[in-house]
């Protein structure tokens, strides 16, 4: 796993922007971390890196936000309101695991309690598992590992 330390929300967004600039269609990013760990900041930067010109916010109440107008379509999922993989399956979100664009999933650990649960999927798509942790009020530890194509 690669470890990065972010010292501010702006640095977290900058990392996301870097990822957004180089991501390929069909990729999935699984973000894990507590409230306030920086998941949405990372997605804001990611959207900017894709060239999305608008405002990005967490889709907590709608489960999915769709951002178009950039280099690739961004599907932004937030699973905070769903507690189990069964609830997520019932919500019909599987289609976002093979996106015609890029999918970023906040609270991915609710769908895949262990990163190894993604192994059957990882061979068919580029997948980045990202764990964000609060170190101090402004500092975050961002660890990630790539799987799949």
Q: Where are the domains of the chain?
A: 2-147
Question: Is 2-147 in CATH node 3.30.360.10?
Answer: no
Element (H, E) at 49: helix 39-50
Whole-prediction pTM value?
0.90
Nearest to 61 by CA among 46, 75, 78: 78
CA separation for the pair 125, 70 (Å, rounded): 21
In the block, residue with structure tokens 């060239």 = 51
The neighbour count for residue 116, using CB atoms within 10 Å, is 11
pLDDT in tens, the chain (149 residues): 899 999 999 999 999 999 999 999 999 999 999 998 999 999 999 999 999 988 888 776 788 999 999 999 999 999 998 988 888 889 988 889 889 999 999 999 988 876 655 555 555 678 899 999 999 999 999 999 988 76
| Per-residue confidence (pLDDT) for residue 86, from 0 to 100 | 86
Contacts of 56 (CB under 8 A, 6+ apart): 40, 43, 44, 47, 65, 67, 76
């Amino acid at each position: 796993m690669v470890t990065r330390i972010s010292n501010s929300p702006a640095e977290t967004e900058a990392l996301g922007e870097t990822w957004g600039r180089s991501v390929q269609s069909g990729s999935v990013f699984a973000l894990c971390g507590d409230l306030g760990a920086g998941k949405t900041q990372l997605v804001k930067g990611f959207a900017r890196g894709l060239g999305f010109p608008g405002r990005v916010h967490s889709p907590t109440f709608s489960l999915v936000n769709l951002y178009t107008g950039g280099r690739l379509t961004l599907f932004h999922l937030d699973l905070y309101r769903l507690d189990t993989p069964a609830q997520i399956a019932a919500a019909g979100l599987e289609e976002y695991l093979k996106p015609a664009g890029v999918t970023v999933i906040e609270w991915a650990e609710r769908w895949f309690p262990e990163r190894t649960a993604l192994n059957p999927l990882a061979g068919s798509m580029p997948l980045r598992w990202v764990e964000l942790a609060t170190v101090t009020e402004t500092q975050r530890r961002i660890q990630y590992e790539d799987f799949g194509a």
